[in-house]
């Protein structure tokens, strides 16, 4: 069910579907109360997936209370801000397995009236975490104490299997080193779109590639690929991984030093390319069996590409 509201509702929503509804999405374009919408959600006892897009923090406290206390939720998306005050409360709900968060206004800090609860926060149940694109990162760089979960997610979430960053800034690269440990649970990592680095420090990836034993799928976006200057060293790190099976490069048309170097790798071969506005180049480790190389892998890659980019 998709609901958009440009003014406060003057009557309750119909309740004929509260027993069967599983997915609800709400976009709010006003600062007035959303009491009818939230009352409707509270009546939905089998709801597993919700998404909120807000234009202001006017109703944030009500929504955060709902997200942190509703035990049926498994997938949550919230577009407003990615500060600790929001994330810590959502992560306190152990039923949530997938979380997508973004900043609807990227150019100044919102006056958020809730306090972060992160001192004792350790989430052991979240499996999939996605940070949407941030077009202006200055307020994060200037207030890192408010964005510690965004900058260091593995300090607070211990069982992640998939993580995606649509924006990387200088202050949130250290976590890549931290997940380079044998007991990591991470299987897929996507570093896509914006990278506010003039020269990406590939040393950050050394532990991930040489010590980590769980990472199987790595996606590198256009900006990341362009910022890797020492492609020979980076490919050596990729070759050193004992677990990595698939590398997805998102590239613009034209020359790519990283792609050209991977084409010469003894450990990976380019299995296929999916073209749209950008080209997705898939490189597969050569030790995979023929069935996976020729059939099963391509199906899995396309399915993953569709699901993880929603």
Query: Could you tell me what percent of the chain has a pLDDT over 70?
Result: 84
Confidence band (pLDDT; 50, 70, 90) for 294?
A: very low
- Rounded to an integer, the average pLDDT of 284-309 is 58
Residue 207 predicted with pLDDT over 50: yes
Read off the tokens for 128: 């999939």
SS3 258: helix
- Strand 98-103: give its sheet, edge to edge: 2-5, 23-28, 49-54, 75-80, 98-103, 128-131, 162-168, 188-195, 217-220, 246-251, 279-285, 268-275
Span of 16-25, 88-97, 219-228 with lowest mean pLDDT: 219-228
**CATH number of domain containing 32:** 3.80.10
- Rounded to an integer, the average pLDDT of 223-236 is 89
pLDDT at 291: 42
Which has the higher per-residue pLDDT, 78 or 225?
78
Read off the tokens for 299: 């199906």
pLDDT at 110: 63
- Rounded to an integer, the average pLDDT of 177-202 is 76
User: What is the DSSP code string of 72-124?
Assistant: T--EEEEEE---HHHHHHHHT-TT--EEEEEES--SS-----S----TT--BS
Instruction: Determine what percent of the chain falls in helix, strand and coil, rounding each to the nearest 5.
Output: 30, 25, 45
Distance separating alpha carbons of residues 97 and 87, to the nearest angstrom: 14
Distance separating alpha carbons of residues 18 and 44, to the nearest angstrom: 4
Residue 39 main-chain phi, psi, to 5 deg: -65, -40
Query: Could you tell me what percent of the chain has a pLDDT over 90?
Result: 45
Q: What are 191's strand-pairing partners?
A: 165, 220
Q: What is the mean pLDDT of the chain?
A: 84
Q: Whole-structure pTM over 0.75, yes or no?
A: yes
Please report where in the chains the tokens 């509260």 appear, as a residue: 18
Domains in the chain, number: 1
Which has the higher per-residue pLDDT, 259 or 29?
259
Domain containing 136 equals 2-309
User: What is the DSSP code string of 27-65?
Assistant: EE-SSS--HHHHHHHHH-TT--EEEEEESSSTTHHHHHH
CA-angle at 150, arms to 148 and 152, nearest 5°: 60
Half-sphere exposure of 162 (CA within 13 A, CB side): 16
Residue 141 predicted with pLDDT over 50: yes
pLDDT at 193: 65
């Amino acid at each position: 069910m998709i609901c958009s509201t440009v003014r406060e509702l003057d009557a309750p929503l119909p309740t004929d579907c509260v027993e069967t509804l599983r997915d609800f999405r709400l976009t709010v374009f006003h600062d007035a109360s959303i009491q009818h919408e939230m009352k409707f959600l509270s009546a939905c006892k089998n709801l597993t997936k919700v998404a909120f897009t807000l234009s202001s923090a006017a109703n944030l406290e009500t929504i955060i209370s709902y997200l942190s206390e509703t035990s049926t939720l498994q997938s949550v998306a919230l577009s407003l801000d990615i500060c600790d005050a929001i994330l810590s409360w959502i992560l306190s709900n152990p039923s949530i397995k997938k979380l997508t968060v973004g900043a609807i206004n990227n150019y100044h800090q919102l006056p958020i009236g809730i306090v972060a609860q992160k001192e004792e926060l350790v989430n052991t149940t979240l499996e999939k975490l996605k940070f949407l694109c941030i077009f202006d990162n200055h307020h994060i760089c200037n207030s890192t104490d408010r964005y510690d979960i965004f900058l260091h997610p593995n300090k607070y979430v211990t069982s992640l299997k998939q993580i995606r960053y649509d924006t990387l800034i200088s202050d949130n690269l250290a976590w890549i080193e931290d997940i380079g440990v044998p007991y990591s649970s991470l299987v897929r990592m996507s570093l896509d779109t914006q990278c506010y680095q003039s020269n990406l420090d590939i040393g950050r990836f050394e532990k991930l590639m040489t010590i980590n034993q769980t990472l199987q799928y790595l996606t590198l976006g256009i900006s990341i690929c362009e910022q890797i200057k020492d492609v020979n060293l980076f490919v050596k790190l990729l070759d050193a991984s004992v677990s990595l099976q698939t590398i997805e490069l998102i590239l613009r048309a034209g020359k790519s030093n990283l792609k050209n170097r991977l084409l010469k790798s003894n450990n990976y071969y380019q299995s296929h390319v999916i073209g749209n506005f950008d080209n997705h180049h898939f490189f597969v480790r050569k030790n995979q069996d023929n069935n996976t190389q020729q059939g099963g892998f391509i199906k899995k890659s396309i399915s993953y590409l569709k699901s993880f980019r929603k």
